[in-house]
Amino acid sequence: MKKRALVSVSDKRGIVSFVQKLEEMDVEVISTGGTKRELEKAGVNVIGIEEVTGFPEMMDGRVKTLHPNIHGGLLGVRKNTEHMEALKDQGIGLIDFVIVNLYPFQSTIENPASTFDDAIENIDIGGPSMIRSAAKNHNDVAIIVDAEDYDVVLQELKDSNGELSVERKRKLAAKAFRHTAAYDALIGEYLTKQVGEEAPEKLTITYNRKQMLRYGENPHQQAAFYERPLGNPTSIARSTQLHGKELSYNNINDADAALAVIRDFEGPTVAAIKHMNPCGVGIGATIFDAFTKAYEADTTSIFGGVIACNQEVDKETALKMKEIFLEIVIAPSFSEEALAVLTEKKNIRLLTVDLESNQPVEQRITTVSGGALVQETDTLSYEDVEVTIPTTRKPSDSELEQIKMAWKVVKHVKSNAIVLAKADQTIGVGAGQMNRVGAAKIAIEQAGDRAKDAVMASDAFFPMSDTVEAAAKAGIKAIIQPGGSKRDQESIDMANEYGITMVFTGVRHFKH
């Protein structure tokens, strides 16, 4: 008995050549719609789906493959005598190969012009049903949902006298269920957003593998990089690599942290990142000025760092970057001259990323053992909060500008976090400390003499006045912090004693 293949694909890459080779192996081809027309145009002898079902397509093609003559042929277990007798009694033929992928739901909802009705119309029903039937019965039926598998399937059929091993069919079935699960997850995510559910009882999201990584945080850990199908267009996952070695796990984390910093600034800004913490941030009249400030903020820690720029990298900036060892430079673009300079360094990774598109408020998902924590990204800005100034002295205009800068940066530093800034440049960063005054001491020590007349930002309130006292002794003149401690008055009194102005935001910026 001839084997039969059912073919219905939206992604038609390589389908004609694949089916032609199946036909050469004496496999009969059943197809429908646009796939049938494409195959017939190429000279393939095709049996129409209605010839198998004895029933015409209905309701604009919504009902065409949902029929016992299709699913009986897919679900019949060859070794089960009762199944085979039932199929024979009903005149249902077996189907041995299913080559199906699904309506383009993702591309439909990505189109700004598409409507809700367009999205609903592009929810595939028959395709997932056939995929699931074939995958369930994968001992007898080969289900192929990915054009990347065409060659390996053909080679095994050629090498094994027209048969696929159970192991191969099981791998194909596993991929098929991943395919339909991802498809359903995307539909579920879209409809959940449409109805405004913020914390649904089931978290069904999907990611596509972007690349395999050499290893994870450490060489003994396996790792891969996945991206959201409808993710942030301004993200590292959507970046383009122009030059250099393949990105590593740690590179990707640091690059993500660097992009998060520069998205909060409008003028020419450069952020230098080490281990997901900013070690230097600079604002300038030009991107060269900004990079110079970011570099001089901490000339030691920037070595081997990740750099993000929010404007094009020009030749002058590239020449200065070339002087030091950098892992990555990310920017919206590089001038031709800048690329010529930087690509002389074989291993430096150069990435471009779209910083013009609107940044959606994304969910941040953190895995814990046995579960996950989900929250919105912290996008709160200085302009979003109602600040108060409880101290006697109020900040000058220039102090206020530096306060705003430091507060933007401290949001991106691991808690407990303190940032010192002066003249559009961070000069000290205390990150990830178990107590706040400890973080302050680290930032003050790093700043040294530059701390005089600088500003301090804290990601959370001061539980006591010791941090204000440490700031005063270093010559710091302005502080921004959330406030809200039971002992705020002690900090206010200490600030007044030393003539420090202090701004309360009422908002915490913890980052763990």
Residues belonging to the active site: 136, 275
Cα angle value 331/337/343 (rounded, 5°): 70
Q: Which helix (H) or strand (E) holds 290?
A: helix 287-297
What Cα–Cα distance (Å) separates residue 3 from each residue in 25, 93, 95, 98, 185?
Answer: 9, 10, 7, 11, 33
Report the 3 state secondary structure along 126-194. Answer: HHHHHHHHHHHCCCCCEEECCHHHHHHHHHHHHHCCCCCCHHHHHHHHHHHHHHHHHHHHHHHHHHHHH
Closest CA to 92 of 174, 4, 199, 217: 4
For the record, the structure tokens of 20 come out as 């032609």
Q: Where do the DSSP E strands lie in 378-473? A: 418-421, 426-430, 455-458
Can you tell me the distance from the alpha carbon of 458 to that of 467, in angstroms, rounded to the nearest whole number? 10
Full DSSP string of 477-507: -EEEE----TTHHHHHHHHHHHT-EEEE-S-
Find out whether 362 and 232 touch, Cβ atoms under 8 Å: yes
| Summary count for the chain: helices (H), strands (E) | 18, 20
Distance CA 298, CA 34 (A): 61
Tokens of 95: 């189907």
Q: Do residues 460 and 439 touch, judged by C-beta distance below 8 A?
A: no
Q: How many CB atoms lie within 10 A of CB 22?
A: 25
Residue 272: strand pairing partners: 280, 307
Which ranges of 411-487 would DSSP assign to H, the alpha helix?
A: 436-447, 466-473
Contact 44, 50 (CB under 8 A): no
CA 274 vs CA 247, 395, 417, 426, 435: distances in Å: 15, 31, 15, 14, 21
- From 359, 367, 366, 363, select the one nearest 375 (Cα to Cα): 363
C-alpha Rg value of the chain to the nearest Å? 30
